[in-house]
Amino acid sequence: MSQTITLYVDGACKGNPGLGGWGAYIIMGNNDEHKICGGEAETTNNRMELTAAIEGIAFCPVEAKLIIWTDSIYVKRGITEWIEGWKKKNWKDVKNPDLWKKLDSVCKNRDIEWNWIKGHSGHAGNEMADQLANLGVEQTLSKIKNGTLVTTTNNAEPDDIVDKKKDEKDWLLDDPFGFDLAESDLEDEMLIDEEIIVTQTFEQDVEVSNSEQNLISFAQNMHPQIVITPATLDLQGPRQLILDTETTGFYYQDGDRIIEVGALEMINRKLTGSSIHIYINPEKPVGDSENVHGISDDFLKDKPKYNEIADVLFDYLKGAEIIAHNATFDMNFLNMEFKRSGLQTLSEVCEVTDTLALAKRKHPGQKNSLDALVRRYEVPQRDRTFHGALLDAEILSDVYLAMTGGQVLLDIDASTVTQDQFNEQKYRQPINLELPVIMPSSDELSAHENWVKQFQEKHSETCLFAK
């Protein structure tokens, strides 16, 4: 059986064009990891994204199966959808044809699965690739300062340059076989299609409640790496928070600490779009747990300590129903951390629902891990090479809805249905009808007997009606 290798590739650019870097995080079997990076003095983000993919693939054996994750829609759709059309038109009007040709060449005779992943969403593999790309920028800048690298333009053009003749509204603008669109435009299209909300800048085009906006502002002022996303749906009802944590180990009693918290808000069985995501410096080595979550000591060294984020996290969580898989584990750690920070334990201000206990009641004697439930309920697969808190919370929200789903009233706002109305809909009213019975006439009976006799003569057996 051929080896399976997972790659995370990313590019970075300081300017467009400008100083750029690329990075590839390569995970082989037996926890064998490789981190490669590089850069150019004058380039674009698109070129660096392509270079990261080219270098990452070239690093791997030809016979291996490659699973590639990129946050560039430009790269993913280009290599899987558009490139054959570009070849047919001999690369006319295509940007970066040199790199597309290299990528096409290095992919030949390989088994490759291409995947897109949302950038800067807390996924450990993507974050590592991003760090490597920025390291490539730093190394390139250092070479320039040392005089070991001569800056050249490399014919780099800004990714968002479009010919003037393309300003007019024309169906050709959306023709993937005709033009190499700017990545920013492609990402906008994909984000709209998949209803993904970009949370890093907090520049939402939705109304945010004053209390929520105050919490966001407070969080940003307290530490820039606290990420709170405002709700995009204005829903009324009790708050449920689908929550997950990552830790340095299994035993809070022995000094293990939380290193990541992620939670998604749900009201009336709908995700509101609001979430919180924080990486935390545990003030101790992560140890072997890095093999599970992929979060390294180096990554966490500039992250806030728990007591720096405790107030913001506590204000976001308090009063809600916490839904977690093996909730005892998460709640023990959260209670311990909040108590160390001088706050109440979370159990005092929140109800808790354990989806593991719920699954065991519904499926006794079966495997009830999150992965097993994903398969059982046919929840859409995500990349889980590493267990990220926000990623696992997103998966758990789908599993929870599937496990607790039942028949609901159609086209009726459940919050406006009274008990009397519900009782009317719940029970059927009996209907008494006397159905007329029409007897056959003598002619119809005679015709039927003749047909039965003809059937018996033709088939040499008695008709079913005559038995």
Max intra-chain CA distance, the chain: 113
SS3 call for 266: strand
- pLDDT score of 339: 94
Q: What percent of the chain has pLDDT over 70?
A: 76
pLDDT confidence band for 1 (50 / 70 / 90)? low
Q: According to CATH, what is the number of the domain 4-193?
A: 3.30.420.10
- What pLDDT digit, counting tens, does each position of 65-95 carry? 999 999 998 899 899 988 988 888 888 888 8
- Establish whether domains 4-193 and 210-404 are of one fold: yes
Instruction: Say if residue 39's pLDDT is above 60.
Output: yes
- pLDDT score of 386: 58
Q: Which one of the listed residues 123, 277, 325, 387 is annotated catalytic?
A: 387
Q: Give the range among 215-224, 250-259, 418-427 with minimum mean pLDDT.
A: 418-427
Say if residue 49 carries a ligand binding annotation.
yes
Beta strand 240-247 with 321-324 is parallel
Is the alpha carbon torsion for 197, 199, 200, 204 positive or negative?
positive
Beta bridge partners of 23: 10, 37
- pLDDT score of 379: 85
Q: Which two tokens stand for residue 160?
A: 């968002």
Highest mean pLDDT among 138-147, 187-196, 212-221, 245-254: 245-254
Neighbouring CB atoms inside 10 A of 135's CB total 18
- What pLDDT digit, counting tens, does each position of 184-209 carry? 444 443 433 333 333 333 333 444 55
φ, ψ of residue 265 in degrees (nearest 5): -90, 135
- pLDDT score of 135: 94
Rounded distance, CA 348 to CA 333, Å? Answer: 14
What residues contact 456, with CB distance under 8 A and at least 6 apart?
A: 462, 463, 466
CB-CB contact of 398 with 269 (8 Å): no
Instruction: Say if residue 439's pLDDT is above 70.
Output: yes
Neighbouring CB atoms inside 10 A of 323's CB total 25
SS3 call for 59: helix
Say if residue 392 carries a ligand binding annotation.
yes
Q: Which helix (H) or strand (E) holds 263?
A: strand 258-267
Looking at per-residue confidence, does 186 or 8 come out higher? 8
Q: Which two tokens stand for residue 274?
A: 């609001």
pLDDT confidence band for 408 (50 / 70 / 90)? very low
- What pLDDT digit, counting tens, does each position of 121-141 carry? 778 888 999 999 999 999 999
Domain spans of the chain? 4-193, 210-404, 436-467
φ, ψ of residue 294 in degrees (nearest 5): 75, 10
Active site residue 277: no
Instruction: Say if residue 397's pLDDT is above 60.
Output: yes
Q: According to CATH, what is the number of the domain 210-404?
A: 3.30.420.10
SS3 call for 319: coil
- What pLDDT digit, counting tens, does each position of 298-311 carry? 989 999 999 999 99
Mean pLDDT of 24-30: 87
- pLDDT score of 431: 66
Q: Which two tokens stand for residue 13?
A: 């650019």
Instruction: Say if residue 25's pLDDT is above 80.
Output: yes
Say if residue 185 carries a ligand binding annotation.
no
What is residue 281's DSSP assignment? B
CA triple 106-111-117, angle to 5 deg: 85
pLDDT confidence band for 388 (50 / 70 / 90)? confident
